[in-house]
Structure 1
């Protein structure tokens, strides 16, 4: 049977995995685990992560996965582009709009949440007061927590879409264009 990585798997004759091939171990009998107990057959058993013990076709282990790129010539200039964008008025305006929404929104929601927890601990009589049937003040306030969470999420997404996304996308586009020109990568 051919496995997902193109190697043929044998049924009982020869090593079953690349680990057994390297270490020279005999394969386990079909249907038996390492301790002789029945085991299931894992279809991904020999689908190794690239560079982990696979052979390169000549019998030698495949080379390791390459590391991240090292700094190239001109990287300092690319960093300067990002610093320039960060210092720009457009970037400061996007950050200002973000803070104008998030800081008051956080303050209101956190106060509402802490108020609910404090009221539940310090005023159990108030929280146990029935409103309609078996529904009490605590249940309504708890449901209000969920409602305000969804409301705040909706308001944040709307604010971002209407007031920040276009400006942030423009900044991103400009930054990519400037860095692409410095790296010499035209597409």
Structure 2
């Protein structure tokens, strides 16, 4: 068996394990809902900007209007999601991924 075939079968074997499937499940259970929420929030901003111009143009204080605040909140929410994912991955994904990686490295030596 060549090294390439050995690596391929090893990775297929690891992918089939319950721990790897749990790792994927944890990632999907966090990433998909968060992605959907962010896209809904972004599309709300776009829709309101296109069809609720009076609302978006409403001045809050000085020259600051609702559209500007919503636009800035897009950046805030992006950074918050990145920070939240980092914390989630550190607590729930990285330990399991490290275990799987060490297992793979042990089998390839």
Is TM more than 0.5 here? Answer: yes
Residues 1:133 and 2:68 aligned together: no
Output the CA distance in 1 between the equivalents of 2:7 and 2:102. 14
Count of residue correspondences: 109
Output the CA distance in 2 between the equivalents of 1:113 and 1:73. 49
Shift of 1:74: 4.8
- Structure having greater relative contact order (Cα 8 Å, sep ≥ 6): 2
Q: TM-score, normalised by structure 2?
A: 0.94
Alignment of 1:41-80 (within 5 A): 73-80=2-9
Look up the match of 1:142.
Answer: 71
> Which consecutive unaligned segments of at least 5 residues does structure 2 have?
none
> Which consecutive unaligned segments of at least 5 residues does structure 1 have?
1-71, 181-187
Provide, for residues 111-135 of structure 1, a one-character-per-residue CA deviation record: whole Å limited to 9, x for no partner.
0001101100101111010111111
Alignment of 1:1-187 (within 5 A): 73-180=2-109
Q: TM-score, normalised by structure 1?
A: 0.56
Output the CA distance in 2 between the equivalents of 1:145 and 1:130. 19
Q: Which has the higher helix share?
A: 2
2:2 counterpart SS class: coil
Say which one has the larger Rg.
1
